Amino acid sequence: MKINSPLEAYKFLPGTNCGECGETSCMAFASHLIDRSKKATDCIPLVNEEKYKKKYAELEALLAPEIREVVIGVGEKAVSIGGDDVLHRHKLTFFNKTAFAYDVWDTMDEKDLVERVNKIQDFKKFYVGDFLTLDMIAVRSISDDPAKFAAAVKKVMETTDFPMVLCSFNPEVLKAGLEVAAEKRPLLYAANKDNWQEVAALAQEYNVPVTVFAPNDLDLLKSLAKTFSENGIEDVVLDPGTFPTGKGLKTTFQNFLKIRRAGINGDRDIAFPIMAVPLTAWMAHDDEVSASYWETVVASVFTVKYGDIMILHSIEGYAQLPEVHIRDTIYTDPRKPVTVDPGVYEVGSPTADSPLLVTTNFALTYYTVESDLSSNGIDCYLTAIDTDGIGVEAAVAGGQLTAAKIKKGLDEAGFDMKEKLNNNVVVLPGLAARLQGDVEDETGAAVMIGPADSGRLPGWMEQNWPPQK
């Protein structure tokens, strides 16, 4: 049985409100345990004092996620997969983003291999206040030559700190890769019905995570996972096979649902992260455009439905951008809006004659407004008011955006309009027009009403700025 409320977690804490965890009370700490922003190990007395040893062990067991969390790689670039507690995101949230591993292969020319690895690790797309990036390199053995594979793995290690997936069904090839890269804790891919004993021995010897593979055979997949677990190999990833077209895609989808539903509902033998391999689209389609398109489709489907790690091929922008965007959307925590820090920000190079515009600290609103301003070369001050991450129209209606809050936001940012501006004018968004009189009373500034849509700001500026005295 898991615990799902702070009150249940509190029963296992010392209850002394000592503050060593950084919180003012044990109840506050318990709430952070439930949302996973803190761990039981952060409670110093619980960990160090002998009298709490039993409670600590019980609490750790009760807080453990239904789906085992598996760590691949080491250091800052290490990737965690799995670790979920729910089937549906809105019931809590999904915690560890789907890890995207893009492939290289051991028959590539060294220059081409290095260039491809650099493209993968250098990919970066700014979106709603953060950079969307990729995660891993999958090194595939095409030659089936242990020496060639080891050389490719070594070159990848010299080029990037990204975690790796070592891909071969030949245990000798995997062993050659591990002899080079074991300290980097790569994921082995894969153990199947023919090689599982040898691959299991490698996973035990080198203490690395391993994938078990049984295409469209869930009984065999469960049997392999259970066998590995009983032999002390807990860091297991499940690959039920990814069929990228027609009825095969439907079957793959159903298999993913069955595995994750069983794991969440308490079947510990199959409660492991799931791997999807959208790369198989390249085996089903002859032309590059169709293969890349269907790879992206399959990746998107299994990002939404329980794919914890994926192996992909296409590194074209038209394939990668949909993949990283849908992943970012699905793994945004629905319990709290995405926000920016409240404050007054400079857009471009504002002067004393530049406008002061107001918006909310809802990230999507703020970055949309900021983008519309900066892309049109409008130098200004942009104020993000703390509305608990709510957009303009809803914040005005709900009382999160008020004249008093605007005044408070300017004061807390240390922005003195009389010192900073020659015009002493505040520009409100059109959807906050009803606040005009109150803002004038609170701030002592003149208030102008801008457009409801920030995309119309350039035209509005041409007609209304500088303001008439």
128 is in an annotated binding site: no
End-to-end CA distance of the chain: 69
- Three-state DSSP class for 70? strand
450: annotated binding-site residue? no
73 belongs to an annotated ligand binding site? no
Helix/strand/coil percentages in the chain, nearest 5:
50, 15, 35
| DSSP state, residue 468 | P
What distance in Å separates the CA atoms of residue 388 and residue 415, rounded to the nearest whole number?
21
> Two tokens at 309?
């790690």
Q: Is 243 exposed, middle or buried (0-12, 13-18, 19+ CB in 10 A)?
A: buried
Give the number of residues written for the chain: 469
> Distance between CA 434 and CA 467 in Å, rounded?
20
Phi, psi of 197 (to 5 degrees): -65, -45
Task: Consult the annotation and say whether 332 binds a ligand.
Answer: no
Q: Where are the beta strands (DSSP E) in 19-158?
A: 69-72, 79-82, 99-105, 125-127, 130-132, 136-140
Residue 263 annotated as lining a ligand binding site: no
Instruction: Please indicate if the annotation marks 43 as binding a ligand.
Output: yes
Q: Is 167 annotated as a binding residue?
A: no
19 is in an annotated binding site: no
Query: What gap in Å lies between CA 212 and CA 302, rounded to an integer?
Result: 18
359 is an annotated ligand-binding site residue? yes
Residue 454 assigned as binding residue:
yes
Determine how many CB atoms are found less than 10 A away from the CB of residue 459.
Answer: 11
The Cα 53–Cα 126 span in angstroms is: 45
Contact present, 275 and 237 (Cβ < 8 Å): yes
> Residue-wise over 160-172: b if at least 16 C-beta within 10 A, else e?
bebbbbbbbbbbe
Q: Is 270 annotated as a binding residue?
A: no
Calpha distance 273→308 (Å, rounded): 6
- Tell me the one-letter amino acid at 343: G
Residues annotated within a binding site: 18, 21, 26, 43, 359, 365, 389-392, 454
Residues annotated within a binding site for 5-methoxybenzimidazolylcob(I)amide: 359, 365, 389-392, 454
Residues annotated within a binding site for [4Fe-4S] cluster: 18, 21, 26, 43
